Amino acid sequence: MGLSRFAFGFFAAAVLVAPVSVFAATKGDPAAGEKMYTECEGCHSLKDNKLGPRHCGLIGRKAGSVSDYPSYSHAMRESGLTWDVKTLSDFLAEPFSYLPETGMGYIGIFDQQSRLDLIAYLDKQGKDPSVCPPQ
Ligand code: HEC
């Protein structure tokens, strides 16, 4: 009896948690993402290449394809990735696990919601022509 009650409780908890994480997987808050972006600004900006490639136009772009950024790793150029919510979230979680030879010296963002917020911010800025003029 004790066990089946535990099993039921576990099952019920799993059912309750599942829709929440599906929701989280689609929702990011760009205002929170703007704060997260300070983590990136040592090496990136939206408009200009710095140590890392510029981020305007990132969503929907092939990895390693900013033509005037000179320092892509072989791994990035040959990754075959296209940047969308899923690939960005996976890469930013653990850059060195996702793309072991990447030249991006950044440890990653452990928290999924923070990654989604950041991606929402990048997406929003990319669609704002006053920030990211169409190329
Ligand atoms: C220490 C410097 C540094 C930091 C901090 C950093 N990056 Fe990078 N980033 C790079 C470099 C260098 C590359 C090029 C890597 C390569 O070619 O393997 C890169 C590449 C990327 C790419 C691939 C872009 C493309 O054109 O294919 C993305 C996406 C990215 N960074 C996002 C971020 C985000 C978001 C943050 C903040 C959470 C961040 N980076 C923090 C240095 C950094």
Nearest-atom index, ligand 1, CA of 42: 5
Query: Given a cut of 90, is residue 79 above it in pLDDT?
Result: yes
Domain that holds residue 85: 29-126
> What residue type is assigned to position 86 of the chain?
K
Model confidence over 92-129: pLDDT tens digits? 999 999 999 999 999 999 999 999 999 999 999 999 99
Query: Given a cut of 90, is residue 70 above it in pLDDT?
Result: yes
- Domain of 46, CATH number, reads 1.10.760.10
Asked whether residue 19 is assigned to any structural domain, the reply reads no
Asked whether residue 50 is assigned to any structural domain, the reply reads yes
Pocket of ligand 1 (CB under 6 A): 39-40, 42-44, 51-53, 58, 63-64, 66, 72-73, 75-76, 83, 88, 92, 102-106, 109, 118
pLDDT > 90 in the chain, percent: 78
Model confidence over 2-25: pLDDT tens digits? 555 655 555 555 555 554 444 444
Asked whether residue 7 is assigned to any structural domain, the reply reads no
Asked whether residue 133 is assigned to any structural domain, the reply reads no
Asked whether residue 12 is assigned to any structural domain, the reply reads no
Asked whether residue 49 is assigned to any structural domain, the reply reads yes
Q: What is the pLDDT of residue 24?
A: 44
- Contact partners, residue 82, CB within 8 Å, separation at least 6: 60, 61, 62, 63
Nearest-atom index, ligand 1, CA of 81: 27
Asked whether residue 10 is assigned to any structural domain, the reply reads no
Asked whether residue 41 is assigned to any structural domain, the reply reads yes
Q: Are 45 and 131 a contacting pair, CB within 8 Å?
A: no
Classified as helix, coil or strand, 31 is helix
Nearest CA to ligand 1 atom 37: 40
End-to-end Cα spacing for the chain: 66
How many domains are contained in the chain? 1
CA triplet 114, 120, 126: central angle to 5 degrees? 140
Q: 5 or 64: which carries more pLDDT confidence? A: 64
pTM listed for this prediction: 0.85
How would you class 88 by CB atoms within 10 Å of its CB: exposed for 0-12, middle for 13-18, buried for 19 or more? buried
